[in-house]
Every structure is written in C-alpha cells, then in structure tokens.
Structure 1
C-alpha cells in the first residue's frame, strides 16, 4: 500500500519515512530560489529542513521560481504534493528516506514580472540560484561576463521588461531601492569557481550596461557570497519513483535520490541577515577558494576523467565505471600524478584522504549516477574542471600526459559514436559544433584545439598538443581500451 505525498497524509506515512516535526503553518518565506531542481532539493532544502527541525529561523523558508519552459512542470508537480519532497540518501549498505518541507510556495513560472513582484516583499532577504554552470553569460575564452550576449543586450535596453534571471534580480533591486527597502543577498549555489563573484559580475555587468549610476549602488549595497556545494544527486526517473513506492510506501511524483554525503562551505557575507546554517553543518569561512578548488578539480575533474572513457565503452553508471579496472586505475593515476599535486593546501584537510573519499563516493552502487549525465555539457565544464589543471601543470613544468588523454577522450566522445558503433545522442548545448570539430580532428587533431574559447592558447603548447594528438590518433586506430592500457603501462 502506498500513501500519496501531501500535507494531509504526512501522519499516514510508513514508520520508516522520517517527516518534519515542525508545522508548515509556522513557516514564513525568507529565500526565493531560482532554478528548482534535484540538487537544490537534495542540498539547500535539506539544510533548511534540518534547521527548522531545531525550532529556529522558521522565517527563512524557500519560495521557488523559474524562467525556463520546464519550470511549469516543476511547479505543477511540486504544488500537487504541497511542495514536499521525499529525499532518499543512499550508501552501499543502507537507504534512508525523509520528507522535507522547507519550500512553501512557487511563483508562477515563465512570468518574470511575477518574480519581480514577489521580490518586493522585504521578508525575502536572500535570492539563491542554481541556474547551471552555463547560465551566467560568461565568455569561455576570457572567463569574464559577456555584455554582448543578445539576451543581456535586450535586458540592458529594456530593464522594465527583463527576460533573464539577472535582469529580474536587477529590476527587483531597483524597485526595492526606490521603495526605501533593504536589498537582498544574491547567493549562487551553482558548481562554479568563485560562484559569488561570477553572480556579482553578471548582475553588475548588466547594471553597468543598463544604468551605470544604479550599478554603483548595487556594488556598494548588495552581498554576493562565494560558496562551495557538494552532494552527488542523479536525475529522477521511473526507477526512483518505483523504489520510493515499493521500499518506502510513498507515492511521490518527484522524489530526490542522493548520496548520504553532503557539504556546504560558505562565505559569511550577507546583506540582510541569514539563517543559522552553521548550527546544522554549514561551514562558514573567510575564504572559500581552497575548498572549491579542491572540489572542482578532484571531484568534478574526476567525474570527467571517468566519464568519457566509460561513455565510449558503453558503461552506463558511475559505479560500474569504478568497477572497471582500466577506468578506476586511469582515475587514480591522473588524479595522483597530475591533479592533486597542483591543488593548493586546504585548511584542516588531507587531499589524499579527500580523494579516497571521492573514490568511495563514485563507487556507491545505490546512486545509479549515469555516465551520460557526467558527460553532459563538456563545453562548459571542461574549461572549469580540467583546463585549469592542464595550464597549472604546464606553468610548473609538469607532465600532462593523462590530462591530454582525458581531452582526447572528450573529443572522441563528441564524434557521436561509441567504440562499438552505438550512437551518442546530443549531450551538449554546443553539440553540433563539437561534432563538427571532432570530425575534423579525426584527420587533423589540432582542429579540436582550435576552439580557443575552451582551450585558449593550448593549441600552441607542444607539451599538451603533441600528446593530445598522439592519444586521439590511437583512440581512432585502436580504441579506448587500448589507449587506457597504453597510458597505464
């Protein structure tokens, strides 16, 4: 027997499903979150749910919002179950389920003006974001905000009718200033180096184009804290809905599955206060940079290292990749020889212990994190997760043979066909471009490195370009397995 998830049925849920002890009627909105997805619901909402369980800060609940077409389905699905979520945390030997209740409303999707109106409420003191790594209008070739993007140009010319997230934020800030209200904090929760600075660059960059005088006010009055977020959270499908139904007796149309591990390191810089997240495990530090560099290079870079050889060898899940001797050894060799040695020290942290933790997390069979998800959006992820390690190694005169192979594997993957001949469907916003370059690189490997927005000047760096070309030729001539065996030998 299953129980349909709703506020009315909370007390009817099976005993093995934890649920809020706080009353939802006592919660009041304090944070508007743009980009509600699995990661937000498995991470930020979990921390707030934990805080509410202590009886503290009940005026910091989430209101959801979104500007993308799929946000309408997100809102409809969540509203039908009173914005509750079944979060299933999984380790190899255990699974636990808890219903969280940190979200209390969702602004009508697809209507920027509705979000602006909601942000007029002075009770909203933080706007948080998970709009993906590619959602900040950054020029990959420079790493800086791109004011020439057509969407940004349109908002700059007509801020009264914004269409982008940052146009909405800017108009709302302007309205609050004009009404004599205190501004809100803008808190990025995306997996980006210096995500607070990147969010600030986007808001300030648009403000300078639209109203330079107002831009100065934003710069002086609005906080953009940097933060490092971490929890492996795969997509939800029929498998997850079935497990929640069969194992936990809950009919939830959008459960969230994640690993048991969770981390949030945050800069304590807020415009109008913050919830006491330090009471439930969030680390507040003066400088997030060491933590985010460690995570982005070792964990996210590690995902890329296992993703592309696995994708080419028709491996479906991350834990299966870790069970493959060639892939797991490839990960260990590249990480220990070319990634970890150039990661700066992290306070009170052993990088070797952190990598051992990463290996265990990748190998978790309960997560069912797909290789396809890990291969997604390489054009945005490679410049953030892999290229910096290549450049730092070269600057220090170190070898980049393994990272050159990782880059060649990505190129080969973007050809759109696995080693066995199976088609790889579009898996990047720039898939057509990547496929075209990969085809050209089959005859001339340097064609791939001509994407200077991704590789910068690495095309002209023989210490990278030569091993890259050699690996790519081997991948085409002998296949992924042979290339990995050659590297590991």
Structure 2
C-alpha cells in the first residue's frame, strides 16, 4: 500500500518519510527558476526547504518555468502532486526520504507571455537557472556568447515575443524598466566557469542587439552573482520510482535520488534581497572562482575521465566503473599528474582530500548514476571541463599524455560502437557531426581536432596533435584495456 504524493496526504506520509513542517499556504514566491530538473529539485529547492522548515524566509518560495516542449511532461507530473517532490538521499550506510514543498507553481513551458508577466511581478526578486552547459549560446572555441546564433537573432528582432530563456528574461526586465520596478537578480546554478559573468554576457549581449538603452539599464541595474553548485543527481527511471514505493511507501511520479553530499558556494551580490541561505549551509564568499575551478576541473573533469573508457567497456553504472581497476587507476593518475596541478589553492580546502572525497562519491553504489549520463553532451562539456586544462598544460610546457588519451577516448566513443561491437545510441546534440568526425579520424586523427569550435588553439598544437594521434591509433589497434594499461605502466 502506497501513499500518493499530494498536499492532501502530507499528514499521512509513512512514518519514516520526513515532510514539510510548514504550511504551503504561508509561502509566497520570490524566485522564478528556469530548468526544473532533478538537480534543481535536489539542490536549490532542498536548501530553501530547509529554511522554510526552520521558520525562515517564507516569502522566497519557487515558481518553475521552462522554454522547451520536452519540459511539459515533468511539469504535468509535478502538477499532479501539487508540485511536491520526494528527495531520497543514499549511500552505503544511509538512506533517507523527505518531501519538499518549496515550489508553489510551474508555469506552462513555452508560454512566454505568462512567464514574462510573472517576471514583471515585483515579488520576484531572483531569477535562477539550471539550463545545462549547452544552454548559454556559448561559442566553444572562444568561450564567449555567440550573438549570431539564429535563436538569439530572432529574439533580438522581436524582444516582446521571445522564445529563448534569455529573451524571456530580458523581456521581463524590459517590463520592469518600463514600470519603474527594480530589477531582479539573475543567478546561474549551472556548471560553467564564471557562470554569473557568462549569464551577464548572454543577457546584455542580447539586449545590446535589440536596444542599447535597455542593455545599459541591465548592465547598471542587474546583478549576476557567480556560484559553484555540487550534488550528484542521476536521472529518474522506473527503478527509482519502484525503490521509493517499496522502501518508503510513497507513490511519486518524479522523485529525485541523490547522494547525501551537497555544496553551494555563492558570491553575495543580491541587491534585490535574498533568502538567508547561509543558515541552510550555503557558503558566501567574495570570489567563487577558486571553488568553481576546483570543482569543474577535478569533479567534472573526473567524470569525463571515467565516462568514455567505461562506456567503451560496456559498463553501465558509475560505481561499477570505479570498481574496474583500470578506470579507477586512470582517474587517479590523470587527476594527480595533470589536472590537480592546474588548480590554484582554494581557501580552506586541501586538494588531495577533495579528490579523495570525489573518489568516494563516484564509488557510491546506491546512487545508480549511469555512465551514459556522464558521456552525454561531450561537445559542450569537453570545452568547459577538459580542453582548458589541456591549454594551460601546453602553455606551461607540461605533459598532456593522459589528457590526450581522455580526448582520444571521447573520439573513439563517438564512433558509435563499444569494444564489444554494441551500438552506442546518439548521446550528444551534435551526434551526427561527431560520428562523422570520429569515423574520419580513424584514418586521419587530425580530422577530429579540426573541429575548431570545440578545440580551438589546442587542436592546432603540434604537441597535442601528436599525443592525441598516438593515443587514438593505440585505442584502435590494441583496445581500451591495453591502452589504459600501457598508460598506467602495466602489463596485461
């Protein structure tokens, strides 16, 4: 017998499921969030739920929003349970379920007019985003906003009827400017270096095309704090729904399973006000750059390091990849010899201890995070998580053997078959292009590095090109296991 998640049944939750101790009717919205996925509901929404449970800041509840048709299914699931979410934290010795109630509404995805009206509401003082690394219209080679993207050009032409997230936000700001309403703060929660600056470039860059006066107003009145967020949160499948029903007796159409660990480091730049997130464990700092660089290179770069060899070896779960000695040793060697040396000191953090924590988190057998998820969207993730590290190593004249092998493994994965010959289903927005480049690179490795928008100057480096070619040829000649073994100095 399970309890269907709803406001009406909150008082009837099973005894081992923690529910909100506040009344949802006492909450009012202060944050509009784009990108209501698993990470947001396991991260920002949980921090806010902690504050509300402590009786604090009940005027900072969430309203969700989206711009893609694919977000409609998630919205319908949440609407069917009054926008409640069950969050299940688990590792080897811990499993806890809680129901969060921080979200009051989720506006219809794609209903730009309704979202703009809500953005113009003075009660909305923060607009936050988890739209993934690929959602910021960044040119991978330059790392800067691309004002020539067709969707951006279209929004700039008719800013009152936008279709992109940045066009919708800008239209909301335009309404506030016209009404004399103070601007809201825009807070990115995505894994992008200097995510606040990147978001500012996109909003102001779009505004500059559409209306110079509006662009100047945004630049002078809107705050874009940088932040670093962290919590491993895999996609929800029937597996997670079944575990929740069996172990806890809750019927939730879209629960979130995640690790117990969570981290949020923010620059304290919120002129329109903010919730007291420091009381829920958020670390406010003057400069988040050291923290975000550490996380992006060591954790996100580490995910990329284990993803592609594991994918080629037909390994399904991330913790299973960490149980494979070659994959685990590849991660450790590459991190310690090539990645961690590029990370400057971080206040209050010992980098070796941080990496050891990452190893434990990746090894968590309860999360059920998949290798395929880590392999997703390499064309957007590699230029942010791996290629800048290569560029820095080349600039310093340092070795890049392991990083070249990681890049070769990505190329080999994009060939579309595993070592066993199993087909790899498309796993990147640019899959057809990657497939073509990978197949050409089997005979001519330079064909892969010729993707200028991804590799940029790194792809033109003779040193890197030679190391990449050697690694790719070895992968095709000897296979993933033998190639990893040679890199590690082992005889297989």
Same fold (TM over 0.5): yes
Q: Secondary structure at the match of 1:192?
A: coil
CA distance in 2, matches of 1:401, 1:193: 24
CA distance in 2, matches of 1:459, 1:333: 23
Offset at residue 462 of structure 1 (A): 2.5
Q: Deviations over 1:257-281 (max 9, x none)?
A: 0000000000100131000001110
1:399 corresponds to: 399
Offset at residue 110 of structure 1 (A): 1.4
After TM superposition, the structure 1 = structure 2 runs for residues 199-278 of structure 1, keeping only pairs within 5 Å, are 199-278=199-278
CA distance in 1, matches of 2:288, 2:459: 32
Offset at residue 252 of structure 1 (A): 0.4
> Does 1:347 pair with 2:347?
yes
1:163 corresponds to: 163
CA distance in 2, matches of 1:71, 1:420: 35
1:151 corresponds to: 151
Offset at residue 458 of structure 1 (A): 2.2
Q: Deviations over 1:351-397 (max 9, x none)?
A: 00000000000000000110000000000000000011111111111
CA contact (8 A) 2:110 2:163 kept: no
1:177 corresponds to: 177
CA distance in 2, matches of 1:138, 1:386: 16
Offset at residue 282 of structure 1 (A): 0.2
2:72 corresponds to: 72
2:40 corresponds to: 40
Offset at residue 121 of structure 1 (A): 1.1
2:284 corresponds to: 284
Q: Secondary structure at the match of 1:78?
A: helix
> Does 1:482 pair with 2:482?
yes
> Does 1:27 pair with 2:27?
yes
RMSD: 0.7
CA distance in 2, matches of 1:283, 1:458: 35
Q: Deviations over 1:466-486 (max 9, x none)?
A: 111011001111110010011
Mark the runs of 5 or more structure 1 residues left unpaired by the alignment: none
2:186 corresponds to: 186
CA distance in 1, matches of 2:222, 2:3: 44
Q: Secondary structure at the match of 1:86?
A: strand
Q: Secondary structure at the match of 1:70?
A: helix
TM-score, L = length of structure 2: 0.99
Deviating beyond 4 angstroms after TM superposition, the runs of 4 or more aligned structure 1 residues are none
CA distance in 1, matches of 2:120, 2:389: 43
CA contact (8 A) 2:187 2:224 kept: yes
Offset at residue 72 of structure 1 (A): 1.5
Offset at residue 459 of structure 1 (A): 2.9
After TM superposition, the structure 1 = structure 2 runs for residues 66-465 of structure 1, keeping only pairs within 5 Å, are 66-465=66-465
Q: Secondary structure at the match of 1:348?
A: coil
Q: Deviations over 1:22-41 (max 9, x none)?
A: 11110000000011000000
Offset at residue 130 of structure 1 (A): 0.8
Mark the runs of 5 or more structure 2 residues left unpaired by the alignment: none
Offset at residue 461 of structure 1 (A): 1.7
CA distance in 2, matches of 1:40, 1:220: 28
Q: Deviations over 1:10-64 (max 9, x none)?
A: 1111111001101111000000001100000000000000010110100000001
Q: Secondary structure at the match of 1:117?
A: helix
1:14 corresponds to: 14
Offset at residue 217 of structure 1 (A): 0.7
Q: Secondary structure at the match of 1:364?
A: coil
Offset at residue 293 of structure 1 (A): 0.3
Q: Secondary structure at the match of 2:86?
A: strand
TM-score, L = length of structure 1: 0.99
CA distance in 2, matches of 1:444, 1:137: 30
Q: Secondary structure at the match of 1:482?
A: helix
CA contact (8 A) 2:86 2:97 kept: yes
CA distance in 2, matches of 1:108, 1:376: 27
Offset at residue 463 of structure 1 (A): 2.2
Q: Secondary structure at the match of 1:8?
A: coil
CA contact (8 A) 2:90 2:257 kept: yes
Offset at residue 108 of structure 1 (A): 2.0
CA distance in 1, matches of 2:129, 2:350: 30
CA distance in 2, matches of 1:35, 1:301: 23
Out of 460-469 and 196-205, give the one that drifted further: 460-469
Aligned length: 489
Offset at residue 457 of structure 1 (A): 2.0
Offset at residue 180 of structure 1 (A): 1.1
Q: Secondary structure at the match of 1:368?
A: coil
CA distance in 1, matches of 2:182, 2:428: 40
CA distance in 2, matches of 1:396, 1:457: 14
